[in-house]
Amino acid sequence: MVSYACRRHDHLKHIVLLLLLLSGCSSAPAETHSDPIPIAKPTTFAVPGWNLVFQDEFDDPETSTLLWNKVHLGTTAHGRLHHYLPEQVSIENGMLHLQTDNIPYKEFAYRSGAVTTQNRFEPLYGKFVIRAKLPEGKGMFPAIWLLPANNEAFPEIDIVEMIGQKPEELWHVAHVNETTNDNFVTTDYIGADWNIYTLDWSKENLIFSLNGVETFRTANISHTPMYVWMNVAVGGVWAETPDASTPTSTEMVVDYVRIYERDT
């Protein structure tokens, strides 16, 4: 079953963004927007009508270091309980792991992992294809999303986000500003399973797909280059507070990230 729904978005992500811009990432980003990093283009990953311009299969940690920033950041605003730490990010057996642990760090009850392509790869339009498993558990808030390269808080495109106590609800959200968004929730899939999340972002439209099946289409809201965020937040207004049923350790696992530009 697929159903439409509305929800109140947790705007803490934008506070996190502003803090990140002030504090920086664990790996210092370039001062200017970088050109796409040259990559091999295996025919097995070819998509008709598209050129592969960014790829991380997480088979080579050295390559991944060039593509991603590991986030070092924490805020208690809106009830958040985690601090992002670089050591919570790892690559093992060809997978990216964003680990969340109920181990205190300073005033935060949880340690968690997050990565971004900020100042490393910031495309204008494209097809984003990510294969990932999202963590279950009350209070967990995994997300894969895009933010503007010009450091504004909006627009924001959420390729997928989920709250851990409702793994059957996978959200796609297009945020025009703090109070205006277009969103869709599908209940056809389980976020804790392996799924392929796809966003086709063109000048005209945002088209979201899950496992090759279109789930949501809306008018495009962004005409500025954007970068990728992948993270697991803990707590907050929407995700709520973890309880005794929440695992003490969990993770988002990402198999690959592939980004294509339309063949002109």
Does the active-site annotation cover 161?
yes
Fold designation for 2-30+48-262? Jelly Rolls (2.60.120)
pLDDT at 95 over 80: yes
Alpha-helical regions (H) of the chain: 12-23, 61-67
Q: According to the model, what pLDDT value does residue 32 have?
A: 36
- Three-state DSSP at 238 gives coil
Q: According to the model, what pLDDT value does residue 249 have?
A: 98
Please give the model's pTM, rounded to 2 decimal places. Answer: 0.86
Computed over every residue of the chain, the mean pLDDT equals: 87
Q: According to the model, what pLDDT value does residue 150 have?
A: 94
Q: According to the model, what pLDDT value does residue 44 have?
A: 61
- Which amino acid, residue 219? A
Mean pLDDT (whole number) for 167-196: 94
Confidence band for 153, pLDDT divided at 50, 70 and 90: confident
pLDDT at 233 over 50: yes
Mean pLDDT (whole number) for 174-198: 94
User: Which residues, at least 6 apart from 25, have a Cβ–Cβ distance to it below 8 Å?
Assistant: 69, 70, 71, 72, 116, 118
Mean pLDDT (whole number) for 188-201: 98
Burial of 211 (0-12, 13-18, 19+ CB in 10 A): middle
Q: How many CA atoms lie within 13 A of 53 on its CB side?
A: 20
pLDDT tens digits, residue range 32-82?
334 445 555 454 688 899 999 999 999 999 999 999 999 999 998 889 999
Confidence band for 24, pLDDT divided at 50, 70 and 90: very low
From 156, 178, 214, 251, active-site residue: 156
Confidence band for 13, pLDDT divided at 50, 70 and 90: low
pLDDT at 31 over 70: no
Report long-range pairs for 1-6 (Cβ below 8 Å, ≥24 apart): 1/187, 1/188, 2/186, 2/187, 2/188, 2/215, 3/185, 3/186, 3/187, 4/184, 4/185, 5/183, 5/184, 5/185, 6/183
pLDDT at 11 over 90: no
Does the active-site annotation cover 168?
no
Confidence band for 10, pLDDT divided at 50, 70 and 90: low
Q: How far apart are CA 53 and CA 78, in angstroms?
A: 37
Q: According to the model, what pLDDT value does residue 146 have?
A: 98
pLDDT at 122 over 50: yes
The percent of residues in the chain predicted with pLDDT above 70, rounded, is 83
From 57, 136, 161, 251, active-site residue: 161
